[in-house]
Amino acid sequence: MKEKKRMTRRRAIFAGITSAGALLLSGCLKKMPPTYGNLLRMGDNLTYMAQRGLLSQRALAMEYQKSDITSFPVTDIGDPADPASKAAYSKEYQELQRYNFKDWALSVEGCVAKPGKYSMEELKKLGERTQITRHTCEEGWSAIAEWTGVPLGTLLQHAGILPAARFVCIYGFDNYGESIDMLDAFHPQTILAHTMNGESLPARNGAPVRLRVETQIGYKNVKYLQRIVVTDKFVDAGPDISNGWSWYTGI
């Protein structure tokens, strides 16, 4: 009897995923990110369809108390100000950092009615959200920190996002980039964080502004933001699509 119930449950889950997949495929196939012609990448799309079809798109990632904040490991190149790290960062970034990012501005381009650049002051005028969330890294570690920043959706609305827009590409000064769909872009916890644990974001964590996509794994959270490009077609903004990382890493 128990085995029969387990099988029934499995069938129900499978049927739900199949139905959701059929629904998405029938109405949204052209909106799906490509699989790169790779069998493993086709699994990415199955995950994408299942999560988008079965889960609430407005559900919030868990938020914590200040007492839960932990140390935040830095496992990448490190502080761009260190001589050993400078080679990996553009001269433009080094110059901006030298003057404490006084002349930094975030470029917003592509499918928007008002392309342009936003200084830190202009960004902050758009409003802000503070959240204490867990960062889950693809390398196996996790940490909890408090982030304050401008909701990405608010910035896109201010720039006049066009109806044709489907994806948002985010690029950093370290030559790294990622792209997300509109559901993640307008998720209330997706922010452009300029403050970490009550202080200006340090260089080792992505100063002056980094992306926080709390519904995806850590590598989607681009650091050292330089520009945002809104597109009407899928672009894998990452430096190398053969690195084995999925485009969609919903958690």
Is the domain of 165 the same as that of 225?
yes
Q: What is the pLDDT of residue 21?
A: 41
Is the domain of 56 the same as that of 66?
no
The length of the chain is: 251
CA dist., res. 211 & res. 127, Å (int):
16
What region does 196 belong to: left with phi over 0, alpha with psi -120 to 50, or beta?
A: beta
Domain stops at, among 13, 28, 61? 61
Domain stops at, among 9, 39, 61? 61
Domain stops at, among 12, 29, 61? 61
Is the domain of 72 the same as that of 57?
no
Q: What is the largest CA-CA distance in the chain?
A: 71
Is the domain of 29 the same as that of 3?
yes
Q: What is the pLDDT of residue 1?
A: 46
Total-model pTM: 0.81
Q: What is the pLDDT of residue 245?
A: 74
Is the domain of 7 the same as that of 124?
no
For the chain, the domain total comes to 2
Domain that holds residue 36: 1-61
Is the domain of 158 the same as that of 244?
yes
Is the domain of 52 the same as that of 66?
no
Domain CATH for 143:
3.90.420.10
CA dist., res. 95 & res. 91, Å (int):
6
Is the domain of 78 the same as that of 147?
yes
Is the domain of 237 the same as that of 148?
yes
Is the domain of 81 the same as that of 190?
yes
Is the domain of 40 the same as that of 82?
no
* pLDDT per residue as tens, the chain (251 positions): 444 433 344 443 333 334 334 434 434 444 556 545 566 666 677 777 777 777 666 789 999 999 999 999 875 555 666 666 666 678 899 899 999 999 999 999 999 999 999 999 999 999 999 999 999 988 889 999 999 999 999 999 999 999 999 999 999 998 889 999 999 999 999 999 999 999 999 988 999 999 999 999 999 999 999 999 999 998 877 655 445 677 888 87
Q: What is the pLDDT of residue 87?
A: 65
Distances (CA, A) of 127 to 79, 156, 222: 28, 13, 21
Is the domain of 157 the same as that of 47?
no
